[in-house]
Amino acid sequence: MKSICLIFFMTAFVTVVFSQDTTKTGYEYFIVLYTIGENWDTTKQAHEQTYFKEHSSHLGELRKAKKIEIGGRYSDTGMMLLKAKDETEARTIILDDTAIKNKIFKAEIFPFDTFYKGCIE
């Protein structure tokens, strides 16, 4: 029984200590993964895709609003760390992208909790 109580306490302690404190920041982090959607034209380069210019503009606006902490690509996947007040806002921001609406890209959104205070405040 002591072991179970100790495990429960340690799990709760780690969760409290290392979880994101949104009361200080007013926002949460979300990982957004972009992959090609069902309307992606395989005969065209990325910059030639329909709605790609609008997609780039949308991301530019998010950068100006300081909603994107970091972003990049790996393999055939785009990834960004998005700041939003909650998951509903994160989904609204991402789903407002014309390229997402028109299925040029697909986006998956995952809550992201930092456990080590490093470069990301």
> In this structure, what CATH number is given to the domain that contains residue 61?
3.30.70.1150
Identify whether 93 is part of a domain. yes
pLDDT band at 113 (very low <50, low <70, confident <90, very high): confident
Total domains in the fold of the chain: 1
Identify whether 1 is part of a domain. no
Q: Mean pLDDT, the chain, as a whole number?
A: 84
Identify whether 118 is part of a domain. no
Q: What is the DSSP letter of 117?
A: -
Report the distance separating Cα 26 and Cα 18, nearest Å: 17
pLDDT band at 114 (very low <50, low <70, confident <90, very high): confident
User: What's the confidence (pLDDT) of residue 37?
Assistant: 97
Identify whether 8 is part of a domain. no
Identify whether 6 is part of a domain. no
Identify whether 15 is part of a domain. no
Tell me the pLDDT tens digit for each residue of 64-80: 999 999 999 999 899 99
Identify whether 69 is part of a domain. yes
- Alpha-helix residue ranges (DSSP H) falling in the chain: 2-18, 22-25, 52-64, 87-95, 98-101
Say if residues 38 and 99 touch (Cβ distance below 8 Å). no
User: What's the confidence (pLDDT) of residue 5?
Assistant: 37
Provide the whole-model pTM. Answer: 0.75
Three-state secondary structure call for residue 31: strand
Report the distance separating Cα 107 and Cα 62, nearest Å: 15
Identify whether 4 is part of a domain. no
Domain containing 49: what range?
A: 22-112
Tell me the pLDDT tens digit for each residue of 7-64: 433 444 334 334 445 455 789 999 999 999 999 999 999 999 999 999 999 999 999 9
In this predicted structure, the answer to whether residue 115 has a pLDDT above a threshold of 80 is no
